[in-house]
Amino acid sequence: MARYGMALDYKNCINCKACEVACKEENGVLLGADKHRIWVGVKEIEGEYPLLSIASNTFYPSQCQHCDNAPCEEVCPTHATHYDENGVVRVDPDKCILCSYCMNACPYDARYVDDRTMTVDKCNFCSDTRLARGETTTACQATCPTKVRIFGDLDDPNSEISQVLREREHFSLKPHLGTKPKLFYLM
Amino acid sequence: MAVEVSRRRFLQGSVAMTVIGGMSMAPSDLFSNEEEHGSQAVTTKTGTGEAELIPTLCEMCVNKCAALARVEDGVVTKLDPNPMFPKSRNMLCPRGNAGIQALYDPDRLKYPMIRVGEKGEGKFKRVSWEEAYDAILNGTDKFPGLAKILDEEKDNRSTIFFCAGEGMAEHTFKTFFNGFGSANWLNHASLCLRTVVSGYGVTIGAYPQADLENAEYIIMAGANRAEAIVTPDTMDFFKRTKGRGAKLICVDPRFTNTAAKADKWLPIKPGTDLAFVLALSYVAIMEELYDKAYVEKYFDGFTQYKNHLYSEGYTPEWAEKITGIPAKDIYEIARDFMKHAPKAVYYPGRRSTFAKNDFQLRRAMAIFQALGGGIDTKGGLVFGKKLPLKSHPTIAPMYAQAEGVDVERAKGHPGYADCAIVSGGGSWIGFRNRVLEGKGLYPIRGMFLYKHNPMMNMPNTKKTAEFLKKLDLIVTIDTMPSDTVMYADVVLPECTYLERTDPVKTFGGPEPAIAVRNKVIDPMYETKPVIEIMRGLTEKISKPLFEITKKYDEDVQDDIADRGEEEVYKDFDLTIPFKHSQEELNEHAVSGYPGAAEALKEHGVYYPNMDKWFKKVSVNEHVYYPDDKKAYTVRGGKPKTPSGKVMCNLKNIAKKGVDPMPTWRKEYEYSVPEGKFRMLTGRHAQFTQSGTANNAMLHDLINENYIWINKRVAKKMGIKFGDMIEVSSEAGSTRLRAYPTEKIAPDQVFFVHGFGEESEELTWAYRSGGNDNAVIKDDIEPVYGAAVMHSTNVEIRKV
């Protein structure tokens, strides 16, 4: 029993997309540019050459926020989407009927359709691959060149993620929606 | 805080949402015996059962990062970073992760093949290895073999030339070249880092590393470490930018991902960096901000350089007019740099030659760096230490009939016809053009080519195609049916890096280590590692070629009369260096270090005291060496030049017509005629030149390259995102889609290198995007004959 979360030192991100590839290879995510569990959000730069705003060009690595109060779980008619014993939002492929309510409900656009299994798929913190083998990192964290991610147990006060969140300012995405994400962006 | 983070990514390149794969391919007899061609690439989810983890080294680019390959049931299911290697610091980039797709690429070269169609047509038939070796020696009805060519050329071995791309097995191939006895060797250097390596070499005695883990102030000009990843620089650096210990000044004509991490971005006019550095040096010297003790002790020709800067008037005001960078910024940067020095770095970079003055630019950069005393010191440029390896048996026979390097001396000048200095790797463009124009000193008739793709890697593709058609015999060793392989007479399929053990390598730096690429799985199909290819080939050709030497080489004839044929042949036996397995050679190479061979098998990495010093200190961080054991300073700051000084004034070079001190010349000024654009090229983090062009996974990230056009210019020309654009110059033309953006100047366009291959055998790479080298002119710089990448003006039109 744990409550898994992830802290992202997003200022380190250079938008190389190593995390996307590691995720796909680890979890057997389908090939195709529109099939991905994680991604890097980028905004087109503001200003006119040569007067550009450096600050406007940021990279935000993102994925399922593993909300404590997940809208996708709420709308799922078959309970395919559920919280597992570690607080990870999971999808049971046997129960999914591809109604796509969850895709519409997710405010973070974190879900896509796996055409092979005909179910909705998304990040599960490598629960059925790396964590199931007893490893303590997700594929995206392990591979990251600039070490953006810290994955760990939020309920363990001695875990590195708990310490970092105590010591450093951070924010979560769309907090006004009350979804209580377990992804934290470090300032 | 509200942040837009959407999976609908609208950005350069990653735009195309089309599902890749499954395209139908034109019928071809390249793989006539196989139906595998065209099958879909897949990903394999890792399992929770038994698995083997094998330490190896990545070959998706040149960095050689350490990886652990997960093998389940004989299948490689995942590549993870190997945390034990100090150079790669526990990471794999997107390309490293996508190495599995290179291994299981359905388009891979699988069998030896010989040409049955016209040259360049790409029609081959599958043969056995023995038949392929025989074709190399004796030819077929379509092409002559080595025996005929060397007989006709009277054993002038230099008629066959050799070229190789960068790689750990390049050494093995070069051993074959040395034994073969040709004087003509071409590598990637003149298309890559020749001028930067030599510029630093002649000025401070070595091409140094930058200590970006400790530098406080970094000028990164013409280098893009957020996208052109170099380990450990990229990882050390971007954890510290953005107000976290390292101040970054990014100098680049376009706004890159590195610029996005900078404190200041200076959009410089292409090809004018030399003026910028000269002005920085002017401020540092005239305002006496430089490290006087260091200059006193280690500079040669300082006063001459000072007088030169002063008399030429290289002021920031002068540089502003040339570079477009405000004089006040130049003053501020020079002062800030010297304030932080020696913990300040003018980053040497590694990349291609952009402008004709590149050699002088690198010299000026090295001198400016040294003015701050940041040489061989923590936080500056460092030489580091290297753990020496033992060498292995090799041969270097003397062929009296072999001519020298195919370059002509310039009439009345001490230099060569097309450049001042001929380096070990040669001038690729100079060589190609000489052969093409019939200006060679003797006929060049054949080539051996390893892991090298001149059709894609060298400016003016049209000329390269003509050049390849002129050669009588082309033998390629490669993993993929590249554009160049289409011109081959004999194709020898190499296995990928995950299927072979390569020569063990020692990596220098402040934290030196030895690392090895261990074979992960057995070679698939009929592919082989280079060492086995060389073994088979030399067993076939060594004796018959010696017969030709005997026929024409009087020295050998005399020698045989003296010592007997058996004894003499021992010097010419090409098989000798390839008798042992790579594993045996590696064990011998590290035999000076107790326990190293075992450590390299088990961990892939070795350095003395690794068992004591290597520690995990957090979920992401490891320590390799204790701080006081890191080799930041190995010579007390003393340059590695023969004189032990920073060489400001190179009188020897002046004799060859090269400026002895970095000097700005009027012809270097930037200008673009009305209606044209300056063509810029470069890198991104997802592909390595054309080497990864067919990787299915990487095509998920960037399906094709896009041409950056300034947004306001595009609007005026009626060009919208995704429109097909034809780019043309006097060298040729290419087509790719438009990306209007403010990240580029109105009179410039940019697209990344490595796209637009024409080989139909590449499912993913075939005509995906545009080929920069189809458009870039084949200008060379005057010192080493290196390719100048940023001197071409182009026209664009919507098609």
Q: Which strand ranges, in their side-by-side order, compose the sheet holding B217-221? A: B264-266, B247-251, B217-221, B344-346
Whether residue B563 is predicted with pLDDT greater than 50 in this model: the reply is: yes
What is the pLDDT, as a whole number, of residue B395?
87
User: Alpha-carbon torsion A87, A88, A89, A90, what sign?
Assistant: negative
What is the pLDDT, as a whole number, of residue B40?
66
| Phi and psi angles of residue A67, each rounded to the nearest 5 degrees, phi first | -60, 140
Preceding amide of A50 cis, omega within 30: yes
User: Cα separation of B445 and A11, whole Å?
Assistant: 55
Residues B249-265: what's their mean pLDDT?
97
Helical residues (DSSP H) of B250-357, grouped into ranges: 273-286, 292-298, 302-312, 316-323, 327-340
CATH code where residue B252 lies: 3.40.228.10
Amino acid letter at A34? D
Query: What fold does the segment set A4-186 form as a domain?
Result: Alpha-Beta Plaits (3.30.70)
- Give the pLDDT band (50/70/90) at residue B13: very low
Q: pLDDT tens-digit profile of B178-233? A: 999 999 999 999 999 999 999 999 999 999 999 999 999 999 998 999 999 999 99
Q: pLDDT tens-digit profile of B182-194? A: 999 999 999 999 9
User: Cα separation of B162 and B473, whole Å?
Assistant: 12
Q: pLDDT tens-digit profile of B289-299? A: 999 999 999 99
What is the pLDDT, as a whole number, of residue B21?
28
Q: Residue B286 sits in which domain range?
A: 192-383+636-685+706-753+769-799
Question: Cβ neighbours of residue B464 under 8 Å, at least 6 residues apart?
Answer: B432, B454, B455, B458
Inside any domain, residue B225: yes
Amino acid letter at A155? D
The two beta strands, B490-493 and B113-115, are antiparallel
Angle, to 10 degrees, between the axis of helix B358-371 and the axis of helix B273-286? Answer: 30
Q: Which residue of A has its CA nearest to B42?
A: A31
Which pairs from B411-420 meet CB under 8 Å and 24+ separation? B413/B656, B413/B657, B414/B655, B414/B656, B414/B657, B415/B656, B415/B657, B416/B785, B418/B780, B418/B785, B419/B780, B419/B781, B419/B782, B419/B783, B419/B784, B419/B785, B420/B653, B420/B656, B420/B657, B420/B658, B420/B782, B420/B783, B420/B784
Contact A21 B697 (CB under 8 A): yes
Contact A50 B745 (CB under 8 A): yes
pTM strictly above 0.90: yes
Neighbours of B93 (CB within 10 A): 30
Q: Which of A15, A20, A150 is nearest residue B620 as measured by Cβ atoms?
A: A150
Domain ranges in chain A? 4-186
Average pLDDT, chain B: 93
Using the Cβ of B741 and the Cβ atoms of chain A, whether some distance falls under 8 Å is answered with yes
ipTM over 0.90: yes
Task: Pick from A19, A25, A164 the residue to mutate for testing the B interface (most B CBs within 10 Å).
Answer: A25
Task: Pick from B1, B3, B4, B5 the residue to mutate for testing the A interface (most A CBs within 10 Å).
Answer: B5
Inside any domain, residue B622: no
Q: Which of B1, B17, B743 is nearest residue A171 as measured by Cβ atoms?
A: B1
Q: Which strand ranges, in their side-by-side order, compose the sheet holding B605-606? A: B505-507, B513-515, B605-606
User: Cα separation of B181 and B164, whole Å?
Assistant: 16
Residues B351-379: what's their mean pLDDT?
95
- Give the pLDDT band (50/70/90) at residue B9: very low
Q: Which of B45, B697, B743 is nearest residue A28 as measured by Cβ atoms?
A: B45
Contacts of A48 in chain B (CB under 8 A): 712, 742
Residues B326-355: what's their mean pLDDT?
95
Contact B502, B57 (CB under 8 A): yes
Residues A140-165: what's their mean pLDDT?
98
Whether residue B412 is predicted with pLDDT greater than 80 in this model: the reply is: no
Question: What tokens appear for B652 in the block?
Answer: 């020897």
Inside any domain, residue B63: no
Of A75-89, A91-105, B12-26, B281-295, the poorest mean pLDDT is in B12-26
Residues B338-358: what's their mean pLDDT?
93
Residues B381-400: what's their mean pLDDT?
93
Q: pLDDT tens-digit profile of B725-741? A: 999 999 999 999 999 99
Q: pLDDT tens-digit profile of B459-506? A: 999 999 999 999 999 999 999 999 999 999 999 999 999 999 999 999
Task: Count interface pairs A-B at CB distance under 8 A.
Answer: 209
Q: Which of A21, A109, A160 is nearest residue B97 as measured by Cβ atoms?
A: A21
User: Alpha-carbon torsion B71, B72, B75, B81, what sign?
Assistant: negative
User: Cα separation of B367 and B646, whole Å?
Assistant: 7
Contact B184, B158 (CB under 8 A): yes
Indicate the DSSP class of residue B269.
Answer: P
* Helix (H) or strand (E) run with residue B384 in it: none
Nearest alpha-carbon partner for B298 in B380, B368, B370: B370
How many domains would you assign to chain B? Answer: 1
From chain B residues 3-22, the ones with a CB under 8 A of any chain A CB are 3-11, 14, 16-21
Average pLDDT, chain A: 96
Whether residue B25 is predicted with pLDDT greater than 90 in this model: the reply is: no
Helical residues (DSSP H) of B5-116, grouped into ranges: 94-97, 99-103
User: Cα separation of B197 and B192, whole Å?
Assistant: 10
- Helix (DSSP H) and strand (DSSP E) numbers for chain A: 5, 12
> From residue A89, how far is each of A183, B138, B455 by CA, in Å?
12, 66, 50
What is the pLDDT, as a whole number, of residue A116?
86
What is the pLDDT, as a whole number, of residue B394?
82
Question: What tokens appear for A157 in the block?
Answer: 């006060």
Inside any domain, residue B595: no
Using the Cβ of A34 and the Cβ atoms of chain B, whether some distance falls under 8 Å is answered with yes
Burial of A33-58, coded b for 16+ CB within 10 Å and e otherwise, reads bebbbbbbbbbebeeebbebebeebb
